Amino acid sequence: MKHLYILFFGMMMLACKREMKKTTEEPKSEIKKLVNDSLLILTSAQKAHATLQVSKPIEVAMHDVIKVNGLVDVPPQSMVSVSFPLGGYLKKSHLLPGISVKKGEVIAEMEDKSYVELQQEYLVDKAKLEYLATDVQRQKELSDQEATSKKSYQQVLSEYKSVQVMVKSFEEKLRIIGIDPQKLTVNNISRTVAVRSPITGFVTKVNVNIGKYVNPADVLFELVNPDDIHAALTVFEKDLSRIQKGMKAFVTLANQPNKKYEVEVILVTKNVDEARTGLVHCHFEQPNHELLPGMFLSGEFMENAAMQIAIPEEALVRYEGKNYVFVSKTDSSFELTPVEAGIKQNGLVGLRGVSKEWLTKKIVTKNAFSLLGMLKNKAEEE
């Protein structure tokens, strides 16, 4: 009888253990079930915890975008280097980089004794020319009356022409340094000369300081005409043929990414450099801006819009270098499906190579990465 009790008790314990094992295994099997490598089945509790959102792809017009970088640039004719032909000492200047100037405005004063000597020589020769003009007339009359030799008349005429050349030469030298010879008299000889701006624009460089002696070849200031500022954008070789004259683009500064400037293509380069890129020159649609030559730009060209099947960017998951989406098969099952991502625009991403059948599919558009995590974890457990 004792052995019967022991046997009965052992059978009861074994039955209890089997029941306990069954109850512990069933919830684990309900947590998630991977039917194959890409299909994930969730329990209702897990689905609620994941807070998934599901929606269908949409068909929308999307622009293909070509991303570019570049610099603010100006053509050579819009950049002016200001020098002084005779050299001299810089006596006065108020210029600083960034200051606006107008054409004809006095931007500096130069001082040197050579200016005084030039004015002196001009006035002396001018007075001499006036005397010789009278003498030539007198000698001609005497020669005509044979009261003097023709040689005397020819000598005076030759001297007159020589002085005439000198006066003309001095006049041009005076005009080069900004002095009007017609207004120059003995009473207004000056040792200083004004340097005037040749264009309307702004100062980019100041290369001299007060009191410094500059040679004729030295550049005092560099000026830029802002009306001709343009964007010189670098485009990769594979995209260069897609850029056409007249195309529109938007560019931004590195320190102001939210402020966009509209540009239009005016010239596409015909050669490619060693980096396999080419330059595209663009005109700014709004010339009244604060862009300066040399500023770094980034921008986007948009090609003509085309209808594409698109999903929210958040629906796209990337795993092992490939793009996927989770397609809802039932309310609780989701299949990991590979896709080829295309254009990204306004929070949407286009799908390449898909048929219109995709417009009827339901895609996980929120928290898709949580499903990918579940799928990877289950694969590791298996």
Q: How confident is the model at residue 228 (pLDDT cuts 50, 70, 90)?
A: confident
Q: Where are the domains of the chain?
A: 30-63+306-381, 67-76+225-302, 113-190
Residue 255 has pLDDT above 90, yes or no: no
Q: CA-to-CA distance for 104 and 137, rounded, in angstroms? A: 42
209: pLDDT strictly greater than 50: yes
> In this predicted model, which residue has the larger pLDDT, 44 or 17?
44
pLDDT tens digits along 124-168? 999 998 888 888 787 777 766 665 667 777 888 888 888 999 999
Token digits of residue 125: 């020769």
pLDDT of res. 131: 87
Give strand pairing partners of 250: 262, 300
**Residue 146, pLDDT score:** 66
The yes or no reply on domain 67-76+225-302 and CATH 2.40.30.170 is yes
Q: Note the pLDDT of residue 147.
A: 59
Mean pLDDT of the chain: 82
Of residues 160 and 93, the one with the higher pLDDT is: 93
Comparing 172-186, 196-210, 235-249, 277-291, the range with the smallest average pLDDT is: 277-291
Tokens for 380?
């590791």
Q: Which helix (H) or strand (E) holds 26?
A: helix 2-31
pLDDT > 90? residue 28: no
Q: Say if pTM beats, i.e. exceeds, 0.85.
A: no
Q: Which residue has the higher pLDDT, 8 or 299?
A: 299
Structural element, H or E, at residue 272: none
Instruction: Identify the CA nearest to 375 among candidates 28, 31, 1, 9.
Output: 31
* Overall average pLDDT of the 52-61 stretch: 88
Q: What is the pLDDT of residue 5?
A: 46
pLDDT one-digit tens code per residue, 273-329: 888 888 999 988 886 667 778 889 998 887 766 788 899 988 888 888 889 999 998
Q: What is the pLDDT of residue 29?
A: 38
What is the 3-state secondary structure of 65-94?
Answer: EEEEEEEEECCHHHEEEECCCCCEEEEEEC
In this predicted structure, what is the pLDDT of residue 296? 92
In the prediction, which pLDDT does 148 show?
63
Q: At what angle do helices 113-144 and 150-176 cross, to 10 degrees?
A: 150
Give the confidence band of 103 by pLDDT, cuts at 50, 70, 90.
Answer: very high
Q: Which of 39-48, 152-161, 241-250 tops mean pLDDT?
A: 241-250
Residue 44: both structure tokens together:
């209702």
Class of domain 30-63+306-381: mainly beta
Let me know the angle formed at the C-alpha of 223 by 181 and 249, rounded to the nearest 5 degrees: 140
Q: Where are the beta strands (DSSP E) in 11-114?
A: 32-34, 39-42, 53-55, 58-62, 65-73, 79-82, 88-93, 100-101, 106-111
Q: How many residues does the chain have?
A: 382
Of 174 and 74, the structure prediction assigns the larger pLDDT to 174
pLDDT of 339 over the 60 cut: yes
